[in-house]
Chain A
Amino acid sequence: MSANGLPRLGSGAVVGLPRALLHYELYPFWRVLFERLGLKVVVSPPTTRDLIEQGARRSVDEACLPVKAYYGHVMALRDRVDAVFLPRLVSLLRGTYTCPKLLGLPDMVRHNVGRLPPPIILDFDETKRGSGLGDAALALGPRLGRTGRQASEAVKAALEALGVFRAALWAGLSFEEAAARATQGPLADRPGGGPSGEALRPPVRPTDWREPAALNGRPRVALVGHAYNIFDPGVNLDLRRKLVGLGCHILTSEMLSHEEVQAESEAMPKEIFWSSGRRIMAAVRRFRRAGFVDGIIHVISFACGPDSMVGEIAERETRRESALPYMVLTIDEHTAEAGLVTRLEAFADMLRRRRRKTGGEGP
């Protein structure tokens, strides 16, 4: 450990990123940042039942599934990295916080996961001047012994990657596609090598969900929820694939641009003060009025605090103001596959029936 509380990491040292929680919102940023600072990045393996169980054993019962999964991901990195990155993500958007558990997460991990590699703990807080994503990341370089110039170039590239990632999500790409676009590409000087260059970056396909093409009777289902619940098949029991298998076309709350979220949010009497909650609330309102969405599924972790509130407002509003089918899927480590499949089948059947009755696109 160096004096500033960060581990000493020379060029080529390996830093581990837990593939959980806000990884699904920020991964390209972290990857490009650390690589540009001369480090190798290892991401923990995809979520499995076993990994969740490992994490749950180290966690208090009261914690939610995604936090237990996060513990498991940190444990999976333990013997493979020189340092593990445990960002404290206080706020990702001015006027909002993430969630109390995320505010305490690095400490919870530090005091509960044994044999922890040296942690890199850094606070990111958009509510405080100079502590936002870019500014806080800028401080990381010098603390790891890099020059100010290296640090600012790394942050610039990381922010650029994040921009590409978000634009791709907003256009309708999946997490994997968007992440690939953002992290493979013109970063020709990426350490660790590999083919690179503009030519390899695939063009965004015109999948813009806002002008939907005809789906030949396939129902459009909007999946809303935290990115880590929507995007992690190990946490959501491969929900997306199951729905696609049932003939559904999927939209997600991650497809709303920042401006769309703000426009919906500002129309509320009081804006939601959780970063993801604001997006979820906005997505429900946007999809409800879209006219071409056949049903909404809100994926909630068992005992999730913010979702217990946001979900309640969203569901009551939706039932009052529309006839749109709205399903709440609560998941935890005990959720049974068979029960989930039955519920999804019933929901998809209902959407198809409604579609036939109204005869065409949209309810």
Chain B
Amino acid sequence: MKVTFAHMGNLWITVKTILEDLGVEVVVPPRPSRRSLEVGVRHSPEFACFPLKMNIGDYIGAIERGADTIVMVGGVGPCRLGHYAQVQAEILRDLGYRAEMVILEPPRGHFSALLDKIRYLTGGKPISRVVRALRFGWEKLYALDCLDRALVRTRPLEAVPGGAAAAHRRAVAAVAGAAGVEATRRARDEGVAAVLAAGGAGAAWEDDGEAGGGLPGRNGTPLRVGIVGEIFMVAEPFANQDLERRLGEMGVEVTRALYVSDWVRINLLLDTLRLRRRSRQSVVKEAASPYLGHFVGGEGLESVGETVLYSRQGYDGVIHVAPFTCMPEIVATSLLPEVGRDLDLPVMSLFLDEHSGEAGLATRLEAFVDLLARRRARAGAGRATR
């Protein structure tokens, strides 16, 4: 059995770590590219959402390199992600590819069904071994998010762009290659220090255990923009046309509302086990409630709620990214203009797909950042733009 999975940012490092630690042979698909996207678009339904098309490109690339089993997440709706597996299986079958789909999804009453799939993938390893592998994977996930966070912090401070990104690349490779929990932690700490060093004395760091939260040591100088939207589009630089890099190089400090490690730690562990007084979901839901009174699947409710929360934290603006035709984010984008008006917060929605041009995006981002800079300048002489 040779297992593959779709790309989403650097998540492949975590998934590969977990599977290999369990003795599973892994085939990582080639990084998303114009070529893989073209393949995906050609074989996917026209109105499928963008992540599905990119997944198809990844799977075909991996199958051509010998993968025979695809692991992916499922779902119970109403977001389309929950039916990706069925549609993708149909497409691959009609193309004559033989690959088995193992779908990991929230159990509907039968938790044993999920365990059976894990047992199948791992060749019957005991649960304690699975837990150990997950623990190792978690360490990598967290390390990668810390590196990303250090990078977005440092980029706007660089005199010459590129140094922080190069340090980040080296650090990611070190984390990917780290052979154990301790080695991963060392690679993380050294990597974060190297990335921050590229920004000179301006970048500071405090490990508060929350990859996306708590931003200490800042004097509020760079413009701050929060990113909300559909999780794949936020996390996959190829899909969002390197949004974080573009903004960083314009001198903007970017914050992702939720890093994958935060999601695992907060939604999957803390709040599922009810270890906190107020769950993150309830905070976001309450923030969204004047505008949206119900979950709408995917990250639609989060996009609205997190925009409100960014406003309360004094952010200069919010960028909302979503795949073209994404249903939950169409609800969000219908409401965000009103949120922005009420809170006097510039919000820009970007619906992206295979037809989105690079020049168009660059122009829109420049105009948006200009707007934020002018507002900052107008807001007071004490807070200069840079």
Using CB atoms and an 8 Å cutoff, list the residues of chain A in contact with chain B. 59-60, 62-63, 88, 90, 96-101, 103-104, 106-108, 111-112, 121, 123, 269-270, 272-274, 300, 302-313, 316-317, 320
Taking a contact as CB atoms under 8 Å apart, the answer to whether A103 and B331 are in contact is: yes
For residue A313, give the distance in angstroms from its CB to the closest CB of chain B.
Answer: 6
For residue A114, give the distance in angstroms from its CB to the closest CB of chain B.
Answer: 12
For residue A23, give the distance in angstroms from its CB to the closest CB of chain B.
Answer: 20
A residues within 8 A CB of B226?
A: none
Closest to A88 in B: B294
CA distance A96 to B297 in the complex (A): 12
For residue B59, give the distance in angstroms from its CB to the closest CB of chain A.
Answer: 16
Taking a contact as CB atoms under 8 Å apart, the answer to whether B90 and A308 are in contact is: no
Taking a contact as CB atoms under 8 Å apart, the answer to whether A312 and B48 are in contact is: yes
Q: Which 4 A-B pairs have the closest CB atoms?
A: A104-B331, A97-B78, A273-B77, A100-B327
Closest to B94 in A: A316
Closest to B335 in A: A111
B residues within 8 A CB of A274?
A: 77-78
A residues within 8 A CB of B46?
A: 308
B49 beta carbon closer than 8 Å to chain A: yes
A residues within 8 A CB of B90?
A: 312-313, 316-317
B residues within 8 A CB of A269?
A: 86
For residue A300, give the distance in angstroms from its CB to the closest CB of chain B.
Answer: 8
Taking a contact as CB atoms under 8 Å apart, the answer to whether B80 and A123 are in contact is: no
- A-B contacts, 5 of them at CB < 8 A, read A111-B334, A112-B334, A270-B86, A306-B80, A316-B90
B residues within 8 A CB of A104?
A: 292, 294, 296, 300, 328, 331, 334-335
Given known pairs A104-B294, A111-B334, the reply for A312 and B87 (CB within 8 Å) is: yes
For residue A116, give the distance in angstroms from its CB to the closest CB of chain B.
Answer: 13
Q: Which residues of B64-87 have CB atoms within 8 Å of chain A's CB atoms?
A: 74, 76-80, 82-83, 85-87
Taking a contact as CB atoms under 8 Å apart, the answer to whether B45 and A309 are in contact is: yes
A residues within 8 A CB of B325?
A: 62, 303, 305, 308
Given known pairs A303-B47, A309-B45, A313-B86, the reply for A103 and B296 (CB within 8 Å) is: yes
CA distance A107 to B291 in the complex (A): 6
A residues within 8 A CB of B295?
A: 103
SS class, residues of chain B in contact with chain A:
loop
Taking a contact as CB atoms under 8 Å apart, the answer to whether B294 and A305 are in contact is: no
Contact of B83 among A88, A100, A123, A309 (CB under 8 A): A309
B338 beta carbon closer than 8 Å to chain A: yes
Taking a contact as CB atoms under 8 Å apart, the answer to whether A108 and B331 are in contact is: yes
Taking a contact as CB atoms under 8 Å apart, the answer to whether B294 and A90 are in contact is: yes
Closest to B328 in A: A100
Interface string of B321-342 (1 = CB under 8 A from A): 0001111101101110010000
Taking a contact as CB atoms under 8 Å apart, the answer to whether B45 and A62 are in contact is: no
The range of chain B's interface size is: 35 or more
B residues within 8 A CB of A310?
A: 83
Taking a contact as CB atoms under 8 Å apart, the answer to whether A59 and B331 are in contact is: no
Identify 12 new A-B residue pairs, CB closer than 8 A, beyond the known A103-B78, A121-B293, A305-B49: A63-B330, A97-B297, A100-B296, A103-B294, A111-B334, A305-B325, A308-B45, A309-B80, A309-B86, A313-B83, A316-B91, A317-B90
Using CB atoms and an 8 Å cutoff, list the residues of chain B in contact with chain A. 45-49, 74, 76-80, 82-83, 85-87, 90-91, 94, 291-298, 300, 324-328, 330-331, 333-335, 338, 351
For residue B127, give the distance in angstroms from its CB to the closest CB of chain A.
Answer: 26
Taking a contact as CB atoms under 8 Å apart, the answer to whether A108 and B334 are in contact is: yes
Taking a contact as CB atoms under 8 Å apart, the answer to whether B338 and A62 are in contact is: no
CA distance A309 to B51 in the complex (A): 13
CA distance A62 to B80 in the complex (A): 16
Taking a contact as CB atoms under 8 Å apart, the answer to whether A100 and B79 are in contact is: yes
Closest to A320 in B: B94
Contact of B48 among A100, A111, A112, A309 (CB under 8 A): A309
For residue B104, give the distance in angstroms from its CB to the closest CB of chain A.
Answer: 13
For residue A1, give the distance in angstroms from its CB to the closest CB of chain B.
Answer: 15
Given known pairs A100-B327, A100-B328, the reply for A107 and B293 (CB within 8 Å) is: yes
Closest to A312 in B: B45
Closest to A107 in B: B292
For residue A124, give the distance in angstroms from its CB to the closest CB of chain B.
Answer: 11
Taking a contact as CB atoms under 8 Å apart, the answer to whether A272 and B83 are in contact is: yes
CA distance A123 to B294 in the complex (A): 9
Given known pairs A100-B296, A100-B298, the reply for A273 and B76 (CB within 8 Å) is: yes
CA distance A98 to B331 in the complex (A): 14
Taking a contact as CB atoms under 8 Å apart, the answer to whether A304 and B47 are in contact is: yes
CA distance A99 to B331 in the complex (A): 11
CA distance A317 to B76 in the complex (A): 22
CA distance A300 to B296 in the complex (A): 21
For residue B146, give the distance in angstroms from its CB to the closest CB of chain A.
Answer: 33
Closest to B294 in A: A103
For residue A131, give the distance in angstroms from its CB to the closest CB of chain B.
Answer: 11
Given known pairs A270-B86, A313-B90, A316-B94, the reply for A107 and B78 (CB within 8 Å) is: no
Taking a contact as CB atoms under 8 Å apart, the answer to whether A308 and B297 are in contact is: no
CA distance A226 to B74 in the complex (A): 24
CA distance A59 to B335 in the complex (A): 10
CA distance A101 to B46 in the complex (A): 19
CA distance A272 to B298 in the complex (A): 17
A residues within 8 A CB of B292?
A: 104, 107
Closest to A63 in B: B330
Contact of B77 among A62, A97, A112, A302 (CB under 8 A): A97
CA distance A320 to B82 in the complex (A): 24
For residue A63, give the distance in angstroms from its CB to the closest CB of chain B.
Answer: 6
For residue B108, give the distance in angstroms from its CB to the closest CB of chain A.
Answer: 8
For residue B321, give the distance in angstroms from its CB to the closest CB of chain A.
Answer: 13
